[in-house]
Structure 1
Amino acid sequence: MTRARISDCPLARTVEVIDRWWTLEILHVVLGGHTRFSAIRRDLETPADVLADRIAALRAKGLLEVDDTADDTAEPGDPTYRATDLGRSLRPLILVMAAFGNHRLAPEDRSVVLVDEETGREVDPVVVDRATGRRVDTAGFVFARGPKASEQVAARYPEPRAGG
Structure 2
Amino acid sequence: MRRKSFQGMGCPIAGALEHVGDWWTLLIMRDVLDGYTRFDELERGLGIAPTMLTSRLRTLVEAGLVERAQYSASPPRYEYRPTTSGRDLAAVIVALYAWGSKHTAVRNSQVTLVDQDSGREIDPVFVDRHSGRRLSEMNSAFLAGPEADTFIRTRLDPELRASRRRRRRDAH
Answer whether TM exceeds 0.5 for this pair: yes
Query: Of the two, which has the highest radius of gyration?
Result: 2
1:80-123 Cα distance to aligned partner (Å, 9 max, x none): 11112222221101100011111136897632121122333322
Q: 1:10 to 1:36 in 2, by over 3 A?
A: same
Deviation at 1:150? Answer: 1.7
Of stretches 8-17 and 90-99 in structure 1, the one that deviates more from structure 2 is 8-17
- Considering fraction of residues, name the structure with more strand: 2
Distance 1:49 1:108 in 2: 31
Aligned residues: 156
Structure 1 vs Structure 2: percent identity of aligned residues?
36
Letter of the structure 1 residue corresponding to residue 90 of structure 2: R
- Considering fraction of residues, name the structure with more helix: 2
In structure 2, the residue matched to 1:67 is 69
Q: 1:118 to 1:105 in 2, by over 3 A?
A: farther
Query: In structure 2, the residue corresponding to 1:66 is in which secondary structure?
Result: strand
Distance 1:75 1:100 in 2: 44
For the 8 Å contact 1:31–1:83, the answer to whether it is kept is: yes
Query: In structure 2, the residue corresponding to 1:126 is in which secondary structure?
Result: coil
For the 8 Å contact 1:6–1:152, the answer to whether it is kept is: no
Q: Which has the higher contact order (CA 8 A, sep 6+)?
A: 1
In the TM superposition, what are the counterparts of 1:74-153 in structure 2 within 5 Å? 76-104=75-103, 110-153=109-152
RMSD: 2.6
For the 8 Å contact 2:100–2:106, the answer to whether it is kept is: no
Q: 1:149 to 1:88 in 2, by over 3 A?
A: same
Q: Any gaps of 5 or more consecutive residues in structure 1?
A: 160-164
TM-score (norm 2): 0.76
